[in-house]
Amino acid sequence: MIGGWRNNTPGGEIGTYDITPNPSVEKGLQDFAARHYAIEEKIEWQYSWAGIMAASKTGFLFIGPTDSQRIFTVSGFTGHGFSWAHGSAKYLAKIMAGEAIPDLVARQFNPRMQS
């Protein structure tokens, strides 16, 4: 699985809500993989997808309770969901179970404190 490359396209796909895979992004990722990974067999790209890259004002994701006591969120990955999702889910589970989490995480990623 490989992702990214939008920053290498004209306009960086900023301001668009188009979720159709961009052929220049796909080609860029394929070329990158061919240049940087020692894969001897021919790669057949089976699946590709695109999505809207949204961000919070701070650029940090949200982990924790919303304004409702029964609704929690892990959102706002700003395109970094693959790398942040597993650890974020662990923190959310601890929050929901009433367990302690690091103070920095509690402050920086709290959806109630970001505005």
Does 27 map to a domain?
Answer: yes
Does 90 map to a domain?
Answer: yes
Q: What is the pLDDT of residues 16-40, one digit of tens each?
A: 788 888 888 899 999 999 999 998 8
DSSP 28-79: HHHHHHHHHS---SPP-------------SSS--EEEE-SSTT-EEEE--TT
Rg, Å, the chain Cα set: 18
Name the band, by pLDDT with cuts 50, 70 and 90, for residue 15.
confident
Q: Tokens for 69?
A: 């006591």
Name the band, by pLDDT with cuts 50, 70 and 90, for residue 114.
low
Q: What is the pLDDT of residues 54-110, one digit of tens each?
A: 777 788 889 999 988 889 999 888 777 777 888 999 999 999 999 999 999 998 898
Asked whether the predicted pLDDT for residue 115 surpasses 60, the reply is no
Residues 81 and 43 in one domain: no
Residues 46 and 87 in one domain: no
Report if pTM > 0.85: no
Residues 43 and 88 in one domain: no
Task: Classify residue 88 as exposed, middle or buried by CB count within 10 Å of its CB (0-12, 13-18, 19+).
Answer: buried
Does 2 map to a domain?
Answer: yes
